[in-house]
Amino acid sequence: MAAHAAIKTAPHRPPDALRASPVISHEYLRCFRPSPLRLPLSLSAHSSSSSKIAAVRPRFGACATRSGTAMENKPVSEDRMLVLTQSGWMQVMVPPHPLIKHWISVLRNEQTPSAIFRSAMAELGRLLIYEASRDWLPTISGEIQSPMGVATVEFIDPREPVMIVPILRAGLALAEHASSVLPATKTYHLGMRRDETTLQPSIYLNNLPEKFPEGSRVLVVDPMLATGGTIVKAIDLLKDRGLNNKQIKIISAIASPPALQKLSAKFPGIHVYTGMIDPVVNEHGFIIPGLGDAGDRCFGT
């Protein structure tokens, strides 16, 4: 963070120590150089008070899709909003943490090199998984002997397993640090690709168990919720294996109105944790402004 502060104070002439560093490349430094920002006149670039967060949020309230369907939202707390879809209100969590905003900004930058893009995706995933697990993990209480006395403690209950299901390819990057947040998790891979013409998903790898253990909690990790076809098919597979909506949470970097509408209509009560909600999905199924093809940018293809 000290290096980051140095870059902010002299963005166009990084210190000699950074310029000579073999770890921080010129491409990496360029990701943090200021570029023209279009900000509302009433806001500053570094404002983060509750009132100003509330002032920013209404831009998510009129999310137009390519079909012209409108969505509304209303905040219910600092990090939660209710998104009005055609089937009713859906709870979507968009944590206002500045690090989440930072990593989303790095991901959006078309000049971000692949290695830094993947690292940013992994850091974003760490934060979103932390937020998603905050009020969700079962605990057990007891007493232990510390060096100075007896303490009442709580541990995560290992009898109710927590599992990660990354949707390949880009889901691998977003879920990369899941085990550091939730050390006892198991990971089941699900490979899906979308037809570029029909935009319909197909499965090329399914590592899911035939049935999930009773009491399982599953985080489905899919960076881009665009048309919603892929994530809906993934949730169908999980429910076919014994899970209900309350046992599933969705982690995404960026979500869109069409995907949220489909999720709300088919899986009422399911929770989505996302770094950002973007307003438009174009005719090719890409989120606008989005961040491009997350899989291609993660793996440099």
Domain co-membership, 257 together with 114: yes
Whether the per-residue pLDDT at 248 is higher than 90: the answer is yes
Whether the per-residue pLDDT at 41 is higher than 50: the answer is no
In a domain, 44, yes or no: no
Domain co-membership, 236 together with 196: yes
pLDDT for residue 194:
82
In a domain, 185, yes or no: yes
Domain co-membership, 260 together with 111: yes
Structural domain including 148 reads 50-134+143-299
pLDDT for residue 181:
92
Domain co-membership, 240 together with 175: yes
pLDDT for residue 7:
42
What value does the mean pLDDT of the chain take? Answer: 78
Per the listing, tokens 């489909």 go with 262
In a domain, 193, yes or no: yes
Domain co-membership, 163 together with 200: yes
| Cα–Cα dist 251/147, whole Å | 39
pLDDT tier at 198, thresholds 50, 70, 90: confident
Percent of residues, the chain, with pLDDT higher than 70: 70
pLDDT tier at 300, thresholds 50, 70, 90: confident
Domain co-membership, 77 together with 189: yes
Q: Which range has the top average pLDDT, 46-55, 99-108, 137-146?
A: 99-108
pLDDT tier at 193, thresholds 50, 70, 90: confident
In a domain, 148, yes or no: yes
CATH classification of the domain holding 252: 3.40.50.2020
Whether the per-residue pLDDT at 143 is higher than 70: the answer is yes
Look at the alpha carbons of 216, 222, 227, 229 in this order and tell me if their dihedral is positive or negative: negative
pLDDT tens digits, one per residue of 158-190: 888 999 999 998 899 999 999 899 988 899 999
CB count in 10 Å sphere of residue 85 = 22
Whether the per-residue pLDDT at 236 is higher than 90: the answer is yes
Whether the per-residue pLDDT at 42 is higher than 60: the answer is no
pLDDT tens digits, one per residue of 74-122: 544 455 555 655 556 678 999 999 999 999 999 999 999 999 999 999 9
More confidently predicted of 198 and 259: 259
Domain co-membership, 277 together with 180: yes
pLDDT for residue 200:
85
pLDDT for residue 82:
57
Domain co-membership, 161 together with 18: no
pLDDT tier at 196, thresholds 50, 70, 90: confident
pLDDT for residue 113:
94
Domain co-membership, 265 together with 130: yes
pLDDT for residue 49:
35
In a domain, 39, yes or no: no
Total domain count for the chain?
A: 2
In a domain, 43, yes or no: no
pLDDT tens digits, one per residue of 100-109: 999 999 999 9
